[in-house]
């Protein structure tokens, strides 16, 4: 296991122990609250637009509006999840080299303020979800309920912890389909859960390697994993993701739906994206924050951008 400086990190309790707490403490409360709901993580909610693109509704203004509303709802609900999670994990986060800088862990945002904000945001988010449709509201309730369970007991059950994270991504994709009232493709389900599981396992590996011997003190479930075990899981899921995507692009169902066989031209992007992510995990110690990894690594960002552009051109081009 990689060596870690985890044991040398002071538990933040005073300004001298955690300079980040002094900086956060000088910020207005509203800015600390905004930081606590982690808007930089909202890129995960872009999955709600997957159904819009692959259902060929990208130029349907009503569907676009509904998808944007669905995205906004999930941004609010994910903010609730981050607040609750950080409140429940505040003691262990204070012993983490990176998470100790979060507003709740550092003491810049009080637990009471975080709980009140979570209740207000949850009420507003669910009200907005049911305003879109009853079905979308039920998916939103399911997502929020699952994430609350993850913040409680599920994060302490080996394998089920990463599966719960992956299902959270699947529910985002499903919500996007429900919001615009289109059928939920089984391919969307399979590719999303495998891709999300790949990212979740990479996140666990990053935590384990970063914290070293102190990993179990921060998150007890990490004691059940090892870098070797996670590498095996990641290899299986990465291969499964690629195979599922390749079969999706060449399946008769896909060809009939889009009226083209050209979607297989996007396979190289999937290959490069997964291989690049593996490279960043193993050679650059990445994987802890998928959103930051995406926007800070230009080759990966270019790959995802080109994949989206190519998919749109193939699906919506005059040759379909």
Q: List the pLDDT tens digit at each of the 320 positions of the chain.
A: 444 443 333 333 333 345 544 555 567 788 999 999 998 888 899 999 999 999 999 999 999 999 999 999 999 999 999 999 999 988 888 877 778 888 999 889 999 999 999 999 999 999 999 999 999 999 999 999 999 999 888 988 999 999 999 999 999 999 999 999 998 889 988 999 999 999 999 988 988 887 777 666 667 888 888 989 999 999 999 999 999 999 999 999 999 999 999 999 999 999 999 999 999 988 887 777 788 888 889 999 999 999 999 999 999 987 65
Cα 185 to Cα 148: distance, rounded to the nearest angstrom:
27
Nearest to 187 by CA among 51, 297, 61, 78: 51
Residue 20 CA to residue 18 CA, distance in Å, equals: 5
**Cα separation values, 21 from 93, 172, 228, Å:** 13, 33, 36
Which regions of 12-129 does DSSP assign to beta strands (E)?
A: none
Q: Are 241 and 198 in contact (CB under 8 A)?
A: yes
58 by Cβ neighbours in 10 Å (0-12 / 13-18 / 19+) ranks as middle
State the number of CA atoms in the 13 A half-sphere of 314 facing the CB. Answer: 21
Other Cβ atoms within 10 Å of 68 Cβ, number: 14
The answer to whether residues 90 and 104 touch, using CB atoms and an 8 Å cutoff, is yes
Please tell me the pTM assigned to this model: 0.84
- The span from the CA of 273 to the CA of 293, in Å, is 12
How does DSSP classify residue 27?
Answer: S
């Amino acid at each position: 296991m990689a060596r870690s400086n985890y044991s040398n990190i002071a538990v933040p309790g005073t300004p001298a122990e955690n300079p980040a707490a002094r900086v956060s403490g000088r910020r207005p409360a509203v800015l600390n609250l905004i930081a606590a709901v982690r808007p930089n993580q909202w890129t995960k909610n872009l999955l709600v637009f997957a159904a819009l693109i692959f259902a060929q509704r990208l130029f349907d203004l009503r569907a676009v509006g509904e998808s944007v509303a669905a995205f906004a709802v999930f941004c609010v609900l994910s903010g609730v999840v981050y607040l609750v999670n950080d409140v429940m994990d505040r003691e262990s986060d204070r012993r983490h080299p990176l998470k100790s800088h979060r507003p709740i862990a550092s003491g810049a945002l009080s637990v009471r303020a975080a709980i009140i904000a979570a209740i207000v945001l949850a009420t507003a988010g669910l009200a907005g979800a049911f305003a879109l449709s009853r079905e979308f509201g039920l998916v939103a309730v399911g997502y929020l309920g699952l994430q609350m369970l993850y913040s409680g007991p599920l994060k302490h059950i080996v394998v089920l912890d990463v599966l719960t994270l992956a299902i959270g991504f699947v529910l985002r994709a499903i919500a996007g389909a429900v919001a615009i009232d289109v059928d939920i493709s089984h391919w969307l389900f399979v590719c999303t859960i495998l891709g999300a599981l790949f990212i979740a396992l990479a996140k666990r590996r990053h935590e384990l390697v970063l914290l070293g011997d102190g990993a179990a003190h921060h998150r007890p479930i990490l004691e059940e994993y090892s870098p070797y075990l996670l590498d095996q899981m990641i290899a299986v899921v990465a291969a499964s993701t690629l195979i599922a995507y390749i079969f999706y692009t060449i399946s008769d169902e896909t060809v009939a739906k889009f009226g083209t066989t050209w979607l297989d031209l996007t396979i190289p992007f999937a290959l490069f994206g997964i291989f690049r992510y593996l490279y960043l995990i193993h050679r650059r110690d990445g994987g802890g924050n998928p959103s930051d990894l995406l926007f800070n690594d230009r080759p990966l960002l270019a790959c995802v951008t080109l994949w989206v552009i190519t998919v749109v051109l193939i699906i919506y081009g005059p040759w379909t």
